Structure 1
Amino acid sequence: MTVSAIDFIDLKTQQQRILPDLDQRMRAVLSHGQYIMGPEVGELEAKLAAYTGSRHAIAVASGTDALLIALMALGIGPGDEVVTSPFTFIATGEMIALLGAKPVFVDIDPRTYNIDPAKIEAALTPRTRAILPVSLYGQCADFDAINAIAASHGLPVIEDGCQSFGALYHGKRSCALSTIGCTSFFPSKPLGCYGDGGACFTDDDQLAARMRQVRVHGQDRRYHHPALGVNGRIDTLQAAVLLAKLEVFPDEVAERARVGARYGELLGDAVVTPYLASGCSSVYAQYTVQVANRGHVQKILADAGIPTAVHYPVPLHLQPVFSGLGLGKGSFPVAEAAADRVMSLPMHPYLSVEDQRRIADSVRVAAKEGAC
């Protein structure tokens, strides 16, 4: 008997839901022909700022560019240090190193997978120029504690909110919790376009002006470049896609919370399910569990037509590109233990109860076999 496969992320159902608005907005761009920095970009920025509660939103070409532009706006460069998490996508540490600065890793909280604030102070040196926490899997890091440490040392905080856009932290939105917030609109993100895209957020007028300048080759007016910058603009067509998706995003965020809660009920104690810190919500960019014998569990699920993924199998300090930091195995034991055990299940707002039950049943069986 053929087993029907379940989508890891279902963008098709969402597209059918928004198709009339999507079609109208994209046709408008094709009609006016302003494919770079067209009016939809400004409209998107205004709506993103209003959604997060930030004074400024700067739409950029990707989440990676958002991190780079934020760091550049703060003047971070050779000889500087930026404190961050080793348990994240490569872009977080990569953008620090690309500017000639040094990523200084701090181990994670074993429950939330986010940077452990209790370990940050010991990592600070006279060369520390910023703290860059990651809001992993859709839940914000502990910004009250992080911001307090940063304030006591006169440091800016950049939130890598590439997985948490839409999440709440004590009543405030991700990306509006620190000096600068950064997010990604990669297609698989909770709010994703149909290509690459991202945004930076801040309440600081001067930083906003700098980030807008960096985004267009350091230009403050046409062909006048007082600073170095990058080509970090978002395409107008992608802005049009995001405007259509923003219309349904609040509903999708609520549905993600329901799907996440249902997973917790269905999976019980068969696996380690996501922990939500007090006062926090998650947009579940990934629904990530912990299992023993992960490879075996993944194979059983694959045979049952259930896709899985691992975010992330190798912490940044163990990546070859960062070998020069001299941080071997055992440097960050909590992150390393998580990397050996985490596994992400299908997650999106349109996941049916029936499919969730099928997934949960298979996970319970696979986890039991994997533990043997």
Structure 2
Amino acid sequence: MSQQVKVPFADLHAQYLTIKEDLDAAIAEVIKTSAFIRGPFVNAFEKEFATAIGASHCVSCANGTDALYIAMRALGVKPGDEVITSAHSWIATSETVTQAGGSVVFCDTDTDTFTIDPALIEHKITPRTVGIIPVHLYGQSADMGAIMKIAARRGLWVLEDCAQAHLARCGDKTAGTYGSAAAFSFYPGKNLGAMGDAGAIITSDEVLAERMTMFARHGGLKKGDHRIEGINSRLDGLQAAVLSVKLKRLESWTAERKRLAGVYDRELSGLEDLEIPVAAPGRGHVYHLYVIRHPRREELKRFLAERGIETVINYPVALPFLPAYARMGARTEDFPNAYRHQSMVLSLPIFPEMTEVQQGLVIDAVKTFCKG
């Protein structure tokens, strides 16, 4: 018999209850005005989100995967081009390189932050390399200062994967404002999530913004004027209205995630065999996920489940070792950190509506396991 859930991994219903009045009113207004495709709600959100991130343009689309694909097509990826990205991420980061016509080249992460190791990028660059896709994973920004120096020196574009890093800071800038463009996901469980699939690309390059807009709208900026072949990838009015309501709360929600992470850090630090997340100096963390590492990860997961605590293994297999990339013949010694992470990572519950009692149950259970 399954254990009754006492602490969910996330609680979107609890979030809804905190913004119910505003959310219901926004949705009703979209229905009242029939502004379902494009229109004022989409236009408003694009402006609001670009401002929040600190970019000049926001091109909304259907989801975060499309955001990566659209950006790469606009950047001109073609057959024979190589794009370097992290070995530890969701497959959307790599599969969109292939779908855009390029070849993905994986690079190992550093030992602590789960993000791509800049020191290893140089070794992956060949005459065919055209760009780098750093992933700001779990809410932790990648080392963009070092990555941008490499890109500038080698003449490469940078496309930031910000699917898990809404409002994360890196140095004195916001994640997503370093590269040529940045792709965002608004999947419901994200720090800024829609009530369905949604995504966007931000950029401060006007020409690139126009290319991305055209490609996402069947290759044209207006009906009947299709300058290229494109795709149909749109953010609908209902999701845009939902996102505008939630965007107003994103800063306070982010602050609460950081506070909860601080409690976890304080209470779980020093436990035997347990590694807590590392927030690198000068690189912001917005704690989309609170990811611990433990050599007996599967036992710990079962132990917590037996006590009604939901946890998730977000990436149980690093990208180079997936069957989809068996053709590359990846060896464990090629990606030692990504390989180590895949068998140890476990995401604990963390969400802005999490109560003190709920977090206390998680902390007590983890302590009991580690001291057992």
Instruction: Identify the TM-score tier after normalising by the shorter chain.
Output: over 0.9
Q: How far 1:126 sits from its partner (Å)?
A: 0.9
Would you say 1:193 and 2:167 are equivalent positions? Answer: no
In structure 2, distance between residues paired with 1:18 and 1:74? 38
The CA distance in 2 between the partners of 1:221 and 1:3, in whole Å, is 53
Cα shift at 1:149: 0.3
> Do the aligned partners of 1:292 and 1:367 also contact (CA within 8 Å) in 2?
no
Q: 1:117 is matched with which residue?
A: 118
CA positional deviation for 1:268: 1.6
Q: Which amino acid aligns with 2:120?
A: K
* Alignment match, 2:156: 155
Which amino acid in 2 is paired with 1:145?
A
Distance 2:370 2:97 in 1: 38
Alignment equivalent of 1:285, drawn from 285, 288, 310 = 288
Does residue 306 of structure 2 align to residue 315 of structure 1?
Answer: no
1:363 aligns with 2:366: yes
1:32 CA displacement: 1.2
Q: Distance in 2 between matches of 1:285 and 1:228?
A: 36
Give the drift of 1:185.
Answer: 0.2
Paired residue secondary structure (2:60): strand
Residues 86 and 109, structure 2, Cα contact 8 Å, conserved in 1: yes
**Post-superposition shift, 1:170?**
1.5
Contact 2:10 2:350 in 1 (8 A): yes
The Cα of 1:5 is off from its aligned counterpart by: 1.8
Which of 321, 339, 342 lines up with 1:339 in the alignment? 342
Task: Name the counterpart of 1:274.
Answer: 277
- Aligned partners of 2:182, 2:66: CA distance in 1, in Å? 12
What SS does the aligned partner of 2:67 have? Answer: helix
* Counterpart residue number, 1:133: 134
Secondary structure at the residue paired with 2:157? coil
The 1:13–1:293 alpha-carbon spacing in structure 2 relative to 1, beyond 3 Å, is same
Do the aligned partners of 1:73 and 1:210 also contact (CA within 8 Å) in 2?
yes
Residue 4 (structure 1) shift:
5.0
Kindly state the Cα deviation for residue 289 of structure 1 after the two structures are TM-superposed. Answer: 0.2
Shift in Å, 1:224? 2.2
SS at match of 2:343: helix
Superposition pairs of residues 57-76 of structure 1, within 5 angstroms: 57-76=58-77
CA displacement 1:245-301 (0-9 Å, x = unmatched): 112111101111101111101112222111111122211111000011111111110
CA displacement 1:272-331 (0-9 Å, x = unmatched): 111111122211111000011111111110000011111211011111111112223332
**Contact 2:35 2:41 (C-alpha < 8 Å) held by counterparts:** no
4+ runs deviating over 6 angstroms: none
- Aligned mates of 2:252, 2:277 — CA distance in 1: 21
Q: Give the drift of 1:356.
A: 1.2
**Aligned 8 A contact 2:143 2:283 in 1:** no
Assess if the C-alpha contact under 8 Å between 2:141 and 2:283 holds in 1.
yes
Q: Does the 8 Å CA contact 2:142/2:283 hold for their aligned counterparts? A: no
Partners of 2:50 and 2:307 lie apart in 1 by 43
TM-score, L = length of structure 1: 0.96
2:31 equivalent in structure 1: 30
Instruction: Show the counterpart of 1:79.
Output: 80
Equivalent-residue separation in structure 1 for 2:306 and 2:81 (angstroms)? 48
Matched length: 368
Equivalent position of 1:264 in the other structure: 265
Which position in structure 1 is the counterpart of 2:297?
Answer: 294
CA drift of 1:118 comes to 0.4
Alpha-carbon contact 2:214-2:221 (below 8 Å) kept: yes
User: 1:272 is aligned with what amino acid?
Assistant: E
Q: TM-score, normalised by structure 2?
A: 0.96
Task: Give the conservation status (yes or no) of the 8 Å contact 2:5–2:310.
Answer: no
CA distance in 2, matches of 1:102, 1:153: 18
Aligned-partner Cα distance in 1 for 2:340–2:265: 22
Structure 2: which 5+ residue stretches go unaligned? none
2:130 is paired with a residue whose SS is strand
Letter in 2 for 1:327: A
Secondary structure of the residue aligned to 1:260 is helix
How far the C-alpha of 1:97 sits from its partner, in A, is: 1.1
Q: Retained in 2: the 8 A contact 1:291–1:367?
A: no
1:348 is the counterpart of 2:340: no
Look up the SS of the partner of 1:330 in the other structure. Answer: helix
SS of equivalent residue, structure 1 residue 296? helix
Aligned equivalent of 1:250:
251
**Equivalent residues of 2:279, 2:285 under 8 A apart:** yes
In 1: Cα distance, 2:235 partner to 2:69 partner: 14
Q: Distance in 2 between matches of 1:79 and 1:89?
A: 23
Q: Distance in 2 between matches of 1:290 and 1:337?
A: 10
Conserved 8 A contact 2:6-2:358? no
Q: For the Cα contact (< 8 Å) 1:169–1:279, is it kept in 2?
A: yes
Q: Deviations over 1:56-79 (max 9, x none)?
A: 111111010110011000010211
SS in 2 for 1:199: strand
2:292 and 2:345 in contact (8 A); partners too: yes
Partner of 2:182, secondary structure, is strand
Letter in 2 for 1:54: A
For 1:129 and 1:225, the matched residues in 2 are separated by 27
Aligned-pair distance for 1:99?
Answer: 2.0
Deviations 1:86-142 (A, max 9, x none): 100010001001123111011101111100000001101111111001000001100
> 1:75 and 1:353 mapped to 2: Cα distance?
49
**Is it true that 1:171 corresponds to 2:179 in the alignment?**
no
